[in-house]
C-alpha cells in the first residue's frame, strides 16, 4: 500500500470506525499531508509506510521549528503516531517509526505576578455584604500575599498556628508540599487583619480550630478561596487573579526589594532553589517593562 492509499484508509478508519468528527478527521489529514510534502521535498518521492524510519520523522519535526510552537509540533507527532500504529495493525508497516521519537519540551509559562498597586487593591478593597466575611477575606488575602502561602496551606492553618512576636507574628505551615513544615513571618498588616477577623469569627465557629471558616462555620476550602478571590478581583477589573498569583507576587516583590533567592526559597517552602530561580525571570521581565515605560531613551525608541 502506498502512502496516499494508507492515508486515505486511515482517514476512513477515523471517520467510520472511530466516529471522529469531520473537523478532527480533516486535522489528521492536514498533518499527514504536511508530512507527505516534506518526504517529497526530502526524498523526491513518497516512500511506502514500511520504508519510513525514525530519522525521517525527526527530520520532519525539525523542519517545523521556527514556524510552529511546541504544542503544534507535539500534535503533529501524535497524528503520525496514531497513523503508524494503524499501519502496523493493518500489516502495512513492521514497526512504528515514531515509537522512539520524543515530542519537544514545552516551555513553562512564567508565573503571573501582579504589580504592587494591583496587589494592594486586591488585598485591601474587599467588599462583602456581611462584615464578618469581609473581615475574613481581608485577613485571608493578607496571609496569602503577606506570607506567600499556597492556598491549601492557608486553608489548613489553625488559630493556634499563629504566634505573636514583637512587631508581627509567625505562622506555622504544618501541611506544606511533600508533608514538610515551615515557619513564615507575618507583617503587622496581616496581624491586624487577623485580629479583626478573630473578633467576628467567634460567632461563626466557636468550636472550630480552623483560622479561616466559611459562613456555616466549616473550614474554608481552596476551591472556595479561588472562587471568591476571582470574584473580588473581577470587581476591580482584574482578570485571572488566583491565590497562586498572590504567592507569585509575594516572591517577585521580595526579589525586587533585594531579598536573596535562598531566603525566598525558605519562605516559599521550595525543596530546591532551582524552583525559586524562575522568579528572577519574572522580575527581569517586570524591570524591563518598567524601563521601557519610564526611561527617556526607551520612550523615544518606542515612539
Distance between terminal CA atoms of the chain?
60
Is residue 297 flagged as an active site residue?
no
Is residue 138 flagged as an active site residue?
no
Q: Which of 150, 201, 248, 253 is catalytic?
A: 150
Is residue 106 flagged as an active site residue?
no
Contact of 97 with 173, CB cutoff 8 Å: no
**How many beta carbons lie within 10 A of that of residue 191, not counting itself?**
21
Q: Which of 7, 138, 248, 270 is catalytic?
A: 270
Distances (CA, A) of 119 to 46, 115, 145, 238, 285: 58, 6, 8, 10, 17
How many CA atoms are closer than 13 Å to the CA of 211, on its beta-carbon side?
A: 28
Contact of 54 with 93, CB cutoff 8 Å: no
What's the order of all strands across the beta sheet hosting 168-173? 162-165, 168-173, 182-186
Contact of 148 with 268, CB cutoff 8 Å: yes
Place of cell 478561596: 225
Contact of 176 with 267, CB cutoff 8 Å: no
Is residue 244 flagged as an active site residue?
yes
Q: Are strands 162-165 and 182-186 parallel, antiparallel or unpaired?
A: unpaired
Is the backbone of residue 66 left (phi > 0), alpha (psi -120 to 50) or beta? left
Q: Which of 177, 235, 262, 299 is catalytic?
A: 177
Place of cell 516583590: 253
Q: Which of 76, 138, 201, 247 is catalytic?
A: 247
- Compute the distance between CA of residue 122 and CA of residue 105 in angstroms, rounded to an integer: 35
Q: Which residues are catalytic?
A: 150, 177, 244, 247, 270, 279
Amino acid at each position: 500500500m502506498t502512502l496516499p492509499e494508507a492515508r486515505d484508509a486511515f482517514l476512513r478508519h477515523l471517520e467510520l470506525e472511530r466516529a471522529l468528527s469531520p473537523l478532527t478527521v480533516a486535522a489528521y489529514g492536514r498533518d499527514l499531508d504536511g508530512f507527505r510534502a516534506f518526504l517529497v521535498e526530502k526524498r523526491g518521492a513518497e516512500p511506502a509506510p514500511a520504508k519510513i524510519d525514525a530519522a525521517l520523522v525527526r527530520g520532519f519535526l525539525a523542519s517545523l521549528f521556527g514556524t510552529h510552537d511546541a504544542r503544534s509540533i507535539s500534535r503533529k507527532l501524535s497524528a503520525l503516531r496514531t497513523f503508524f500504529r494503524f499501519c502496523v495493525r493493518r500489516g502495512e508497516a513492521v514497526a512504528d517509526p515514531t515509537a522512539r521519537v520524543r515530542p519537544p519540551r514545552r516551555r513553562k509559562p512564567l508565573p503571573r505576578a501582579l504589580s504592587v498597586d494591583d496587589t494592594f487593591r486586591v488585598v485591601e478593597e474587599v467588599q462583602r455584604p456581611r462584615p464578618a466575611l469581609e473581615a475574613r477575606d481581608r485577613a485571608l488575602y493578607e496571609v496569602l500575599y503577606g506570607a506567600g502561602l499556597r492556598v491549601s496551606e492557608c486553608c489548613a492553618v489553625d488559630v493556634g498556628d499563629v504566634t505573636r512576636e514583637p512587631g508581627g507574628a509567625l505562622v506555622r505551615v504544618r501541611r506544606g508540599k511533600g508533608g514538610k513544615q515551615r515557619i513564615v513571618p507575618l507583617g503587622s498588616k496581616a496581624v491586624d487583619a487577623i485580629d479583626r477577623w478573630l473578633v467576628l469569627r467567634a460567632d461563626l465557629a466557636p468550636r472550630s480550630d480552623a483560622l479561616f471558616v466559611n459562613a456555616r462555620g466549616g473550614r474554608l476550602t481552596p476551591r472556595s478561596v479561588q472562587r471568591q478571590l476571582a470574584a473580588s478581583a473581577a470587581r476591580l477589573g482584574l482578570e485571572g487573579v488566583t491565590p497562586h498569583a498572590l504567592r507569585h507576587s509575594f516572591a517577585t516583590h521580595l526579589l525586587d526589594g533585594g531579598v536573596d533567592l535562598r531566603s525566598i526559597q525558605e519562605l516559599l517552602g521550595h525543596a530546591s532553589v532551582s524552583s525559586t530561580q524562575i522568579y528572577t525571570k519574572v522580575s527581569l521581565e517586570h524591570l524591563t517593562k518598567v524601563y521601557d515605560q519610564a526611561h527617556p531613551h526607551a520612550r523615544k525608541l518606542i515612539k
